[in-house]
């Protein structure tokens, strides 16, 4: 129908989902595409479930993505992958970080954290890619670069070449942290070959 | 071209339009407008203590002949309504824009009031951008309109406009000379004799603006679709385009008050059926129907929550409504107080007082959620203090505690506290001083000693204010010290007078460094789960053991203080 790409980045407030979406949006713009991005600030950032939408293509109207419309979902956390999985297109891809962050409903005993997230997703017929991004980030000695490992994994699937990603990532951060973040990004990018 | 949020675009538009002054109080989703304007040296910017003060300061700059902007969240305009209603009568000297950022769906608000009705009620011009480019353009148009028609202009956004990013083409700043300020009491003094004349001229000014609205380029016909005829505005325009695309002909409205009546009438009369697609209340629909025209709107579209392309497809294209949300079975993840948040220990201590606790607006509203469940009321900015006084006058045998943040206390809590002293309320007011306006993303306020440009300025001392209000019983405590907190609260709630406890500790998010000295749970743990009852996201039960997640722990040490068995200690420290 059209060549627009719909990407959702989901996770827990404070995990750094906004940086990843901002890099994708900037890159798409630099490649001459129309872009819309929607994010939520304020209350939800205090440990709540957060979602960012990035849409790019020849012409984008709505800034939001609805059920069964996402080409890709990049989930920073397992439970959030489950929560938003319905938003994936039938042929979409879900990239899931294997980090578990217990919500207060679980901590206070009102709910149980599902132990079989991956199985549930696969039984829904979802095209799932799992990654323990923290271990890879720690491998390069920067546990904060989890988001860049994940972005690298997503980026490999998208339509832009590696050099352009590298350039945009550099523009988004100070020179001090560029090196480890690019390392983390490259690691994510190359994970597809390892798998 | 730049990828800008609606808020960034409004700031950019105001800058390009030569704005010289801006005043606001932070409030989601409006906050980033002033934050971005403050980056420009050419613009005087300030955080005001509240929205009413912000509007009054902005008025002063406008009277002085400068292009001026003020911005607030929708409920902020309730606070600022008084000076705004007068300003419509008075008109402007330099152009005046008020941004109202509404929050349909209540992402971060207590209601979803549709402030377009305020524009109509106050009788000011109303512009509704539908994306970031229009947000910038309309900020520029808004100043021109304001000056040409001698009216303040409301630029009304919603969360999806303010916080969505889109491509924006940038221009250069255009400097406008200050319009001369001359003493003119017939204009600037709104006593009844003057106001009666202003009242008449206001209708004339609006009439001229209504004529302008007929040809304003933002009000335009679009598309040639045969299946639907649609009148729409704001974000609903984008959703309608997404859902209906080429199937519809659109009357896209942007200057929606005063309504371009001829344009609307001609459009409606051309089609057998016209749909009004708008988010929130039937603002356009009611005005259109009052012209004697027949349209469909809120009889098929909801008036609450956020609109979406899906809702439009379901209403007009017969798309099936999905049965329920399958995610409803998953554990909810509501916002929580952060690990190490200084409010947590205060709430825990307050819970021991067996009092009725009134709450207020800020991060500490999260004190309502389990397991702390401390707060019993939360209404609006400052209400905790008034609510507490009222409760205490009726439920005379109960202890009453009001909690309020530093920024909210400065916003309007001071007048509430004066009422408590004046009317001899025997309640305890706890000021949660985390040295920042936290919930909206860390803005300075008069109690932090820094201004919007991060320059040091006069610091308003909370204790001095409390004392000046006539309070004699004041305790100042460290929020992380459970012993101090409990002692102060016990004394305060039993002294029989107005008491204030100022609990201090900076917001934990202000310190971005990874802290050392994390805590851990040792083998002495008896699994009593007392620490779990703090509701700290870092403390949880995993594999039947209570554990502290060292990634999340912020070393506040509160859990170690409340443990009855000495089972929580700093990582690596020796057993005592």
Please tell me if residue B548 touches chain A, with a CB cutoff of 8 Å.
no
Residue among B3, B239, B440 whose CB faces A29 most closely: B3
pLDDT at B576: 47
To the nearest whole angstrom, how far is the Cα of A34 from the nearest Cα of chain B?
Answer: 7
Best mutation target among A13, A47, A58, A174 (most B Cβ atoms within 10 Å) is A47
Which residues from chain A sit within 8 angstroms of residue B366, using beta carbons? Answer: 46
Closest Cα in chain B to A124: B326
Distance of CA B148 to the CA centre of its chain: 30
Taking domain B220-316, whether its CATH number is 3.40.50.920 is answered by yes
Cβ within 8 Å of A, B 337-376: 337-338, 363, 366, 369-371
Neighbouring CB atoms inside 10 A of A175's CB total: 7
Name the residue among B188, B208, B313, B198 with its Cα closest to residue B255.
B208
Q: pLDDT for A8-36, tens place per residue?
A: 999 998 787 889 999 999 999 999 999 99
Closest Cα in chain A to B108: A43
Please tell me if residue B28 touches chain A, with a CB cutoff of 8 Å.
yes
Q: Is the distance from CB of A88 to CB of A94 less than 8 angstroms?
A: yes
Please tell me if residue B539 touches chain A, with a CB cutoff of 8 Å.
yes
CB pairs below 8 Å between A and B: how many?
156
Distances (CA, A) of A119 to A1, B2, B114, B567: 32, 42, 44, 37
CB contact under 8 A, B166 and A37: yes
User: Which stretches within B64-216 are classed as H helix?
Assistant: 74-90, 116-122, 132-149, 159-162, 185-188, 192-215
Name the residue among B317, B294, B314, B320 with its Cα closest to residue B227.
B317
Please tell me if residue B225 touches chain A, with a CB cutoff of 8 Å.
no
CB contact under 8 A, A43 and B167: no
Q: Does pLDDT of A43 surpass 90? A: no
Residue among B164, B322, B338 whose CB faces A47 most closely: B338
Residue among A25, A36, A41 whose CB faces B441 most closely: A41
CB contact under 8 A, A43 and B439: yes
The two three-digit tokens of residue B122, written as one number: 């106050």
The two three-digit tokens of residue A54, written as one number: 């990035």
pLDDT average, residue stretch A53-63: 97
pLDDT at A14: 77
CB contact under 8 A, B335 and A37: no
Q: Is the distance from CB of B493 to CB of B399 less than 8 angstroms?
A: yes
To the nearest whole angstrom, how far is the Cα of A193 from the nearest Cα of chain B?
Answer: 30
Which residues from chain B sit within 8 angstroms of residue A124, using beta carbons? Answer: none
Domain spans of chain B, in order of start:
2-215, 220-316, 342-510, 519-570
Backbone φ and ψ for B495, nearest 5 degrees, come out as -85, -10
Complete domains list, chain A, with CATH: 5-140 (3.40.920.10)
Angle of CA points B494, B495, B497, to nearest 5°: 120
Residue among A45, A61, A67 whose CB faces B242 most closely: A61
CB contact under 8 A, B537 and A47: yes
The two three-digit tokens of residue B408, written as one number: 């909210």
Q: For the domain with range B342-510, which CATH number is right: 2.102.10.10, 3.40.50.300, 3.40.50.970, 3.30.420.40?
A: 3.40.50.970
Closest Cα in chain B to A40: B163
What is the spatial distance between Cα A111 and Cα A137, in angstroms, rounded to a whole number? Answer: 30
Please tell me if residue B437 touches chain A, with a CB cutoff of 8 Å.
no
CB contact under 8 A, A66 and B326: no
To the nearest whole angstrom, how far is the Cα of B192 from the nearest Cα of chain A?
Answer: 42
Domain B2-215 belongs to what topology?
Rossmann fold (3.40.50)
To the nearest whole angstrom, how far is the Cα of B116 from the nearest Cα of chain A?
Answer: 21
Which residues from chain B sit within 8 angstroms of residue A110, using beta carbons? Answer: 331, 370
What is the spatial distance between Cα B224 and Cα B233, in angstroms, rounded to a whole number? Answer: 18
Please tell me if residue B314 touches chain A, with a CB cutoff of 8 Å.
no
Residue among B308, B333, B370 whose CB faces A48 most closely: B333
CB contact under 8 A, B540 and A107: yes
Which residues from chain B sit within 8 angstroms of residue A143, using beta carbons? Answer: 551
- Kindly indicate the confidence band of residue A1, based on its pLDDT and cuts at 50, 70 and 90: very low
Given the structure tokens 């403050």, which residue do they identify? B38
Identical fold for domains B342-510 and B519-570, yes or no, is: no
- Kindly indicate the confidence band of residue A48, based on its pLDDT and cuts at 50, 70 and 90: confident
- Kindly indicate the confidence band of residue A144, based on its pLDDT and cuts at 50, 70 and 90: confident
The two three-digit tokens of residue B447, written as one number: 């109690």
To the nearest whole angstrom, how far is the Cα of B365 from the nearest Cα of chain A?
Answer: 10
CB contact under 8 A, B28 and A49: no
Q: pLDDT for B301-343, tens place per residue?
A: 999 999 999 999 999 999 988 765 555 678 989 889 999 999 9
To the nearest whole angstrom, how far is the Cα of B157 from the nearest Cα of chain A?
Answer: 14
Domain B519-570 belongs to what topology?
Alpha-Beta Plaits (3.30.70)
Model-level ipTM above the cut of 0.85: yes
Strand segments, DSSP code E, in B316-462 are: 356-358, 400-405, 428-433
Cβ within 8 Å of A, B 161-180: 163-167
pLDDT at B325: 53
Best mutation target among B234, B241, B322, B330 (most A Cβ atoms within 10 Å) is B330
CB contact under 8 A, A62 and B238: yes
Q: What is the pLDDT along chain B (576 residues), one digit of tens a residue?
A: 999 999 999 999 999 999 999 999 999 999 999 999 999 999 999 999 999 999 999 999 999 999 999 999 999 999 999 999 999 999 999 999 999 999 999 999 999 999 999 999 999 999 999 999 999 999 999 999 999 999 999 999 999 999 999 999 999 999 999 999 999 999 999 999 999 999 999 999 999 999 999 999 999 999 999 999 999 999 999 999 999 999 999 999 999 999 999 999 999 999 999 999 999 999 999 999 999 999 999 999 999 999 999 999 999 999 988 765 555 678 989 889 999 999 999 999 999 999 999 999 999 999 999 899 999 999 999 999 999 999 999 999 999 999 999 999 999 999 999 999 999 999 999 999 999 999 999 999 999 999 999 999 999 999 999 999 999 999 999 999 999 999 999 999 999 999 999 999 999 998 877 677 899 999 999 999 999 999 999 999 988 999 999 888 999 999 999 999 999 999 977 554
Residue among A34, A38, A111 whose CB faces B331 most closely: A111
Name the residue among B576, B533, B527 with its Cα closest to residue B558.
B533
What is the spatial distance between Cα B364 and Cα A94, in angstroms, rounded to a whole number? Answer: 35
The b/e string for B269-285 (b: 16+ C-beta within 10 A; e otherwise) is: eeeeebbbbbbbbbbbb
SS3 for B453? coil
């Amino acid at each position: 129908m059209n060549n627009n790409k719909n990407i959702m980045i989901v996770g827990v407030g404070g995990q750094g989902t906004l940086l990843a979406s901002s890099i994708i949006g900037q890159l798409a713009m630099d490649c001459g595409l129309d872009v819309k991005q929607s994010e939520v600030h304020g209350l939800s950032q205090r440990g709540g479930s957060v979602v960012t939408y990035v849409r790019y293509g020849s012409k984008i109207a709505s800034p939001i993505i609805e059920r069964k419309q996402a080409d890709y979902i990049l989930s920073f956390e397992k439970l959030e992958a489950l929560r938003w999985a319905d938003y994936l297109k039938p042929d979409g891809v879900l990239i899931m970080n294997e980090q578990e962050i217990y919500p207060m409903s679980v901590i206070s005993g009102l709910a149980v954290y599902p132990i079989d997230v991956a199985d549930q997703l696969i039984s829904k017929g979802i095209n799932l890619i799992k990654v323990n991004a923290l271990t890879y980030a720690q491998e390069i000695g920067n546990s904060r670069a989890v988001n860049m490992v994940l972005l690298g994994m997503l980026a490999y699937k998208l339509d832009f070449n590696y050099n352009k990603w590298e350039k945009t990532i550099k523009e988004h951060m100070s020179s001090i942290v560029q090196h480890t973040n690019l390392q983390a990004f490259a690691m994510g990018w190359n994970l597809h070959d390892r798998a | 071209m730049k990828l800008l949020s609606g808020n960034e675009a409004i700031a950019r538009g105001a800058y390009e339009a030569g704005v010289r002054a801006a005043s606001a109080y932070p409030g989601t989703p409006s906050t980033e407008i002033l934050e971005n304007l403050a980056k420009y040296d050419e613009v005087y910017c300030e955080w005001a203590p509240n929205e009413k003060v912000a509007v009054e300061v902005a008025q002063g700059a406008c009277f002085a002949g400068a292009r001026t902007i003020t911005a607030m969240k929708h409920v902020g305009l309730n606070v600022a309504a008084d000076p705004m209603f007068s300003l419509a009568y008075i008109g402007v000297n330099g152009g005046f824009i008020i941004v109202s950022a509404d929050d349909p769906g209540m992402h971060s608000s207590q209601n979803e009031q549709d402030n377009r009705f305020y524009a109509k009620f106050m009788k000011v011009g109303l512009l509704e951008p539908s994306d970031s480019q229009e947000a910038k353009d309309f900020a520029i148009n808004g100043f021109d309109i304001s000056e040409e028609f001698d009216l303040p202009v409301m630029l009304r956004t919603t969360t999806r406009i303010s916080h969505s990013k889109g491509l924006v083409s940038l221009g250069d700043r255009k400097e406008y000379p200050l319009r001369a300020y001359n003493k003119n009491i017939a204009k600037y003094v709104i006593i009844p004799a003057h106001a009666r004349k202003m009242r008449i001229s206001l209708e004339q000014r609006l009439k001229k603006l209504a004529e302008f609205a007929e040809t304003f380029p933002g009000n335009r016909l679009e598309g040639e679709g045969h299946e639907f005829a649609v009148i729409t505005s704001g974000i609903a325009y984008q959703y309608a385009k997404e859902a209906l695309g080429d199937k519809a002909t659109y009357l896209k409205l942007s200057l929606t008050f005063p309504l371009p009546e001829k344009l609307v009438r001609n459009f409606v009369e051309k089609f057998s059926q016209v749909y009004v697609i708008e988010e929130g209340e039937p603002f356009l629909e009611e005005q259109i129907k009052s012209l004697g025209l027949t349209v469909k709107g809120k009889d098929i579209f909801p008036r609450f929550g956020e609109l979406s392309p899906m809702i439009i497809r379901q209403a007009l294209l017969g798309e099936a409504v999905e049965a329920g949300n399958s995610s409803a079975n998953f554990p909810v993840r509501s916002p929580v107080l952060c690990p190490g948040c200084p409010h947590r220990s205060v709430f825990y201590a307050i819970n021991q007082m067996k009092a009725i606790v009134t709450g207020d607006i800020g991060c500490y509203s999260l004190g309502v959620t389990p397991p702390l469940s401390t707060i019993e009321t939360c209404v609006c900015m400052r209400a905790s203090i008034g609510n507490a006084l009222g409760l205490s006058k009726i439920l005379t045998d109960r202890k009453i505690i009001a909690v309020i943040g530093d920024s909210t206390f400065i916003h309007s809590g001071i007048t509430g506290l004066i009422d408590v002293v004046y009317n001899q309320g025997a309640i305890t007011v706890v000021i949660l001083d985390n040295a920042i306006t936290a919930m909206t993303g860390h803005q300075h306020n008069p109690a932090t000693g820094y201004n919007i440009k991060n320059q040091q300025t006069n610091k308003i001392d909370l204790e001095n204010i409390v004392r000046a209000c006539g309070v004699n019983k004041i305790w100042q405590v460290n929020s992380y010290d459970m012993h101090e907190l409990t002692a102060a609260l016990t004394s305060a709630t039993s002294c029989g007078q107005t008491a204030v406890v100022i609990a201090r500790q900076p917001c934990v998010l202000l310190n971005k460094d990874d802290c050392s000295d994390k805590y851990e749970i040792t083998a002495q743990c008896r699994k009593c789960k007392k620490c779990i009852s703090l509701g700290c996201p870092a403390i949880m039960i995993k594999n039947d053991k209570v554990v502290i997640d060292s990634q999340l722990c912020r070393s506040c040490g509160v859990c170690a203080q409340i443990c009855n068995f000495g089972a929580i200690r700093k990582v690596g420290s020796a057993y005592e």
